[in-house]
């Protein structure tokens, strides 16, 4: 039977409860922010002057908002029913949203101090038609109120009211007032309201693809890290400059905190994260993403440094390969020369041994001319073999000279590379430093030994040293060759005979 688990103490239960509360409080911080926008553009008015660029304004604004994380409800050339349906759908999506935005491009009017948006089929003839043919802006404000977060209204609807003259003609019999542009919104608490121009004023349609206001707004939305107040101030300046001071957007802002339409990292944020990187693809990506950034200059400078360093490393590797190939070829030539010299020395020694072995043999005395011819032939052969040894010695000396020249050339190349790098005495990555303070190509390697470990001494100079250094057990090949050469020259001492006997 299992024993029951111990019950937690009151302090343990309190600690668990606090941990659970902290986790629940932290959940909203990790939740993704919900953003919803309603974008409407009306252009093809049936009973008023069409607007040429409002459809472009709405399309470009919808694209810009989607890029910064908004779920967009959009509508183009909407009638009264279409506008009401769009506002209804927007209101449902706006429930508990963290940020909501309404954008309108088209005809708008103020009537008795209240603002109205004009559908494409509206026929505004009198006070009654204003009430039932248009859409109240207050209905949109009510839809915005369903959101729990930031509420933004952008109105590029301050064009010249096409119904002002028609409505004003009936002002004598009706107690209502018709004004140009839009009226200030009275209930703007907790909202950001941006007008294309100042209240009671008329904005320009613009001769290009977009109106001056929307063109500036779409451009500034693309700039990451701009707080919304700063963004609209920049829009104001751009529009003011573009219209020669004839139009200045107006902003009504009532927020308790900061808000950023474009939450992407700024160029400074990205540069702080990658400035220690040596990856050319990362730096090229930064330059492509922020071509006009101040930090793009630093990125190009670092990229140039990396490319030059890579080129220098390629040059270093190429030089190292070239020197390695030349050293290998020189070593092969030296080994071949050593083998040929050893073979010549052995041939000379063998001839000498044959002469020594034949000296004690009793043979019929040859005639004088035969003895003279054989002696001449032996002397000629000895001279040829001695000349061959001398030639091999000269070839080995030439190879040693070539080795020293190769070492000097290597040193000059290393010093030239160090001078080009400007780091003589302090090697960059990939280069070794010698004990003399110069750069060495590649990893440090032992010096190339081009001389053989035991080179036979010349037959006419170093016999004594070679024999003295010969072990008693068995002479070295060099000692045998020297002894044979001396015997061939006619010297048959006991010491030479002992050496020759051991060499057999």
Lowest mean per-residue pLDDT among 52-56, 132-136, 336-340, 368-372: 368-372
Instruction: Determine the pLDDT at residue 13.
Output: 62
The verdict on domain 31-253 having CATH code 3.40.50.1460 is yes
Sequence ranges of the chain with CATH classification 3.40.50.1460: 31-253
Instruction: Determine the pLDDT at residue 427.
Output: 39
Strand, helix or coil for residue 163: coil
| Residue 463 parent element (H or E) | helix 463-468
Highest mean pLDDT among 285-289, 328-332, 490-494: 285-289
* Both structure tokens of 360: 């004690």
Longest distance between any two alpha carbons in the chain, whole Å: 167
Three-class HEC string of 21-74: HHHHHHHHHHCCCCEEEEEEECCCCCCCCCCCCHHHHHHHHHHHHHHCCCEEEE
| Segment 377-435, tens digit of pLDDT | 777 777 777 777 777 777 777 877 887 887 777 777 777 767 666 553 343 443 444 44
| Segment 22-66, tens digit of pLDDT | 444 443 433 478 999 999 999 999 988 888 899 999 999 999 999
Q: Please list the residues that pair with 71 across neighbouring strands.
A: 36
């Amino acid at each position: 039977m299992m024993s029951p688990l111990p019950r937690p103490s009151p302090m343990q239960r309190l600690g668990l409860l606090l941990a659970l509360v902290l986790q629940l409080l932290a959940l909203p911080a990790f939740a993704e922010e919900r953003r919803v926008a309603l974008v409407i553009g009306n252009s093809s008015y049936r009973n008023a002057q069409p607007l040429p660029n409002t459809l472009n304004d709405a399309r470009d604004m919808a694209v810009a908002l989607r890029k910064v994380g908004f779920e967009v409800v959009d509508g183009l050339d909407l009638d009264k029913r279409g506008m009401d349906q769009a506002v209804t759908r927007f209101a449902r999506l706006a429930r508990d949203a963290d940020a909501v935005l309404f954008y309108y491009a088209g005809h708008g009017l103020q009537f008795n101090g209240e603002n109205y948006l004009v559908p494409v089929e509206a026929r505004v003839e009198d006070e009654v038609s204003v009430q039932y043919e248009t859409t109240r802006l207050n209905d949109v404000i009510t839809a915005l109120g369903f959101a729990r977060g930031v509420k933004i209204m952008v109105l590029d609807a301050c064009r010249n009211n096409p119904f002002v003259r028609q409505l004003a003609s009936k002002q004598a019999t009706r107690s209502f007032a018709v004004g140009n542009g839009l009226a200030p919104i009275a209930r703007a608490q907790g909202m950001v309201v941006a007008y294309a121009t100042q209240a009671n004023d008329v904005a320009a349609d613009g001769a290009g693809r977009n109106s001056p206001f929307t063109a500036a707004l779409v451009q500034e939305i693309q700039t990451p890290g701009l707080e919304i107040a700063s963004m609209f101030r920049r829009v104001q300046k751009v529009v003011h400059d573009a219209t020669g001071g004839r139009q200045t957007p107006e902003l009504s802002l009532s927020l308790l905190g900061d808000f950023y339409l474009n939450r992407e990292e700024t160029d400074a944020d990205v540069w702080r994260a990658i400035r220690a990187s040596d990856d050319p693809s990362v730096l090229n990506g930064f330059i492509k993403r922020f071509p006009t950034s101040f930090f793009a200059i630093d990125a190009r400078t670092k990229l140039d440094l990396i490319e030059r360093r890579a080129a220098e490393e390629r040059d270093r590797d190429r030089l190292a390969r070239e020197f390695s190939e030349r050293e290998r070829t020189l070593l092969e030539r030296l080994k071949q020369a050593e083998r040929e010299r050893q073979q010549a020395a052995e041939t000379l020694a063998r001839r000498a041994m044959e002469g020594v072995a034949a000296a004690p043999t009793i043979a019929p005395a040859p005639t004088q001319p035969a003895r003279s011819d054989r002696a001449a032939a032996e002397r000629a052969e000895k001279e040829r073999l001695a000349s061959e040894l001398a030639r091999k010695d000269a070839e080995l000396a030439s190879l040693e000279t070539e080795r020293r020249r190769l070492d000097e050339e290597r040193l000059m190349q290393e010093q030239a590379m160090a001078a080009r790098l400007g780091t003589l005495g302090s090697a960059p990555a990939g280069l070794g430093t010698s004990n003399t303070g110069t750069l060495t190509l590649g990893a440090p390697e032992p010096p190339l030994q081009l001389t053989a470990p035991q080179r036979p001494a010349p037959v006419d100079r170093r016999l004594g040293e070679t024999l003295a250094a010969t072990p008693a057990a068995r002479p070295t090949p060099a000692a045998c060759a020297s002894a044979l050469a001396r015997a061939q020259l006619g010297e048959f001492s006991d010491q030479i005979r002992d050496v020759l006997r051991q060499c057999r």
